[in-house]
Structure formats: C-alpha cells, structure tokens
Amino acid sequence: MDTLTWMDVALQKADDSLKIGEVPVGCLFVYDNKVIAIGNNTVNETRNATRHAEINCIDQVLKFCKEKDLNYKNVFPNIDVIVTVEPCIMCTSALYQLQVRNIVYGCANDRFGGCISVFEVPKLYNSETKVIGGVKGDVAMALLKEFYKGTNPNAPESKVKKDRKSTKCSSTESV
C-alpha cells in the first residue's frame, strides 16, 4: 500500500473517534507493509491526558513484540507512523526516542505540534527519522473543525468554551 492509502485508513479511525466524542486523530504503525497498531485518542474515555493515538499505538507495538518474541529496539526503526494530525511535542519525542523510520502526518498542529509547528523536537535528536507533513491535511483539518464546533462534554467547567461563534480552528490533539 502507499502512503495515501494508509492515510485513508488513519482518517477513517479519526472519523470513528469523532463519532464517539474524542478528538479526531487516527494513527497507524506500519511494519513490513502491515498495520501492527491502529489507534486513536482515548483522552476523554480514560480521563488521561497522555492517551494520544501515538501512545496507544506504541503500547500495541510493545505487546506485538512480546507476543512475537521480537526485540522492540529492532522493530521501531522499521516502523512508518501514519497519523492524521502532526504529533504533539510529547508524542514526537516518544517517536524520536524509539527511532521510528518515518512520521507521516496530515494537518499541522499549531497549538502543540512537535515536528515543526510549535517546537521542532527533531532538532534535539541525532536521528534518521524522516517527517512528511500535509498528506490529506485538508481532510484531517475538516474532522478537527467538526469536533471543535461543539463543546467537549468532558472538559473541566473552567475550560468549557462559552462562546462558539468563531469557526476558526486550531489543530490539536489535547483537550
């Protein structure tokens, strides 16, 4: 499969997330041209702000490695991460520490982006990881805008937006 096809799968996962009230971010970890992890944000479901799509996929890869008796240090450098929104600083750092091969994302994350938008995590690492942004970014951004039209029912009262007149949207993975 090619990057555009993989991104379509990630976008479907993001759309599924939107339907259940999570920030619509979908993520795939592809290894040997097979999806070994697929995830979405579960921040609202778990009430844990660290449960981003990428972190959930990392957990799945570690489980995959254990089940297949593989060393994760040999697996992660051969993984292509396909994610609908630029990973946040936390997730980008984790992906760089694990030395994934590629990070391919859809739209920019102008509030928390760790690849280039807010903070350039890659500058902290001597890494072979390649980053490609803007793959079907318009579709990913449309999902985010749809999510942010409403009010997050799980947001603390002090964080709930009172006036939602503006249709301007900042891409974000955090709530």
Give catalytic status of residue 54 as yes or no. yes
Residue 13 in contact with residue 39, Cβ under 8 Å? yes
Six-digit token string for 169: 């949207």
Q: Are 58 and 79 in contact (CB under 8 A)?
A: no
Closest C-alpha to 140, from 74, 83, 87? 83
Give the C-alpha separation, 38 to 42, whole Å: 12
Q: Which of 22, 54, 86, 173 is catalytic?
A: 54
User: Catalytic site residues?
Assistant: 54
